[in-house]
């Protein structure tokens, strides 16, 4: 269940540091958050889907690692990203 290309482009545009930025932690966190929301809605309808549950746990763990990295390197960007995405931290 990948993100739609136009949705992904919109997320990259919103969180990119400059015009060519696609891999900064902020962008990666935003894309993971969108995918997590998408898989979470799938999991509500398909409670027995163990394969996607494992993928969801992996995505949440990856996002937490990226958030921890961003917090340790750039606190202001971390706070802005958390607030913009509406995450509880």
* DSSP codes of every residue in 11-67: HHHHH-SSTT--SSHHHHHHHHHHHHHHHHHHHHH-TT-HHHHHHHHHHHHHHHHHH
Domains and CATH numbers, the chain: 5-85 (1.10.287.10)
Note the pLDDT of residue 22: 85
Q: What rounded mean pLDDT belongs to the chain?
A: 94
pLDDT tens, residue by residue, 45-74: 999 999 999 999 999 999 999 999 999 999
Note the pLDDT of residue 2: 84
Q: What's the pTM value of the predicted model, to 2 decimals?
A: 0.92
pLDDT tens, residue by residue, 13-33: 999 999 888 899 999 999 999
């Amino acid at each position: 269940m990948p993100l739609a290309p136009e949705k992904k482009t919109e997320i990259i545009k919103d969180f990119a540091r400059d015009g060519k930025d696609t891999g900064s932690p902020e962008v990666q966190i935003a894309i993971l958050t969108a995918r997590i929301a998408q898989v979470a809605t799938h999991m509500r309808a398909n409670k027995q889907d163990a394969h996607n549950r494992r993928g969801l746990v992996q995505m949440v763990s990856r996002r937490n690692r990226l958030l921890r990295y961003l917090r340790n390197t750039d606190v202001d960007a971390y706070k802005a990203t958390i607030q913009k995405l509406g995450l509880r931290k």
